[in-house]
Amino acid sequence: MNFSEQAAENLRRIQENKPLIHNITNFVVMNYTANVLLAAGASPVMAHAENEVEEMVGFAGALVLNIGTLSDAWLASMITAGKEATRRGTPIVLDPVGSGATRLRTDAAKAILAQTRVRIVRGNASEILSLGDADAQTKGVDSAHGVDQAAAGAADLARSLDTTLAITGPIDLVTDGRRIIRVANGHPLMPFVTGTGCSASTLVGAFAAVDDDPVSAAATALAFFGLAGEKAGAASSGPGSFMIALLDALYLISPDELEAGCRISDES
């Protein structure tokens, strides 16, 4: 099965099985990412209490950890949930929001990577590079490095972290250290809506819940999200109407339409 066929198959499985995706995520995007999952056919749950997360993750098809609006208590819950997910073999997706910008965020991302088995990390180039290189700098949560500059080091970093990296930007890059995949779907209005990166991460979680190959799960999820962005962009006049049209598009795109619209290329 090529990536386009796999994308269609993954979306079909999500719509049929409605996997429960457990998110421990930031306050800014909770509502939007829950709506993104629902529109795509998955079942979101947000739960962060340290005395609940182990039980909750037991029902989940994937665990998504997002370190925006972080605090020590939330980090502790993420690691508790992540350890239980690791024990169960449940896929974990990490979104290292703002890693590289502050010590709290950088240390948190590294602690999660060290103490749990993260299957996929989804971030922008600065955030991803900060996981390996203490000198990388992030301006807030925006990317200061382009995807192309990141590509060189990304495969090395994926191998050294023993995970799959999904670096989003105008062209997305997915690598497990051996394969290098690029996803060209997307729309320039995406960075003007808060939580589009976080939404990409939670969709990667939904795709990882139905696809055991992390490279294919991440690439097909990003193609789906990017295609929805293209469809939304064609129907929008600004970022407000775009964010709403994006939810509609995630709901309306059929597996066949995704197969036809996917722009994934394998460079490995």
The candidate with the shortest Cα–Cα distance to 246, out of 68, 32, 8, is 32
Cβ 5 to a copy of itself, closest distance in Å? 25
- Please identify which residue in 246, 258, 262, 264 interacts with a copy of itself, judged by CB under 8 A: 246
By the rule CB under 8 A, 239 interacts with a copy of itself: yes
Show the tokens assigned to 81: 């949930």
Compute the C-alpha angle 222/250/6, nearest 5°.
50
The SS3 assignment for 207 reads helix
The rounded Cα 216 to chain-centroid distance in angstroms is 13
- Please identify which residue in 5, 16, 88, 102 interacts with a copy of itself, judged by CB under 8 A: 102
The candidate with the shortest Cα–Cα distance to 199, out of 211, 210, 186, 212, is 186
By the rule CB under 8 A, 229 interacts with a copy of itself: no
Show the tokens assigned to 237: 């006049």
By the rule CB under 8 A, 26 interacts with a copy of itself: yes
By the rule CB under 8 A, 98 interacts with a copy of itself: yes
Closer to a copy of itself at the Cβ: 69 or 115? Answer: 69
Closer to a copy of itself at the Cβ: 50 or 213? Answer: 50
Order the strands of the 92-95 sheet from edge to edge: 43-46, 20-24, 62-66, 92-95, 120-123, 164-167, 172-175, 180-183, 264-266
By the rule CB under 8 A, 202 interacts with a copy of itself: no
**The total number of residues written for the chain in this structure:** 268
**Binding mask of the shown chain, residues 32 to 61, with x at each position contacting a copy of itself by CB under 8 A:** x-xx--xx---xxxxxxx-xx--xx--x--
Interface size with a copy of itself, residues (CB under 8 A) = 60
Residues contributing to the annotated binding site: 46, 122, 168, 195
Chain residues binding a copy of itself by CB under 8 A are: 20, 26-32, 34-35, 38-39, 43-49, 51-52, 55-56, 59, 68-72, 98, 101-105, 139-142, 191-195, 236-241, 243-252
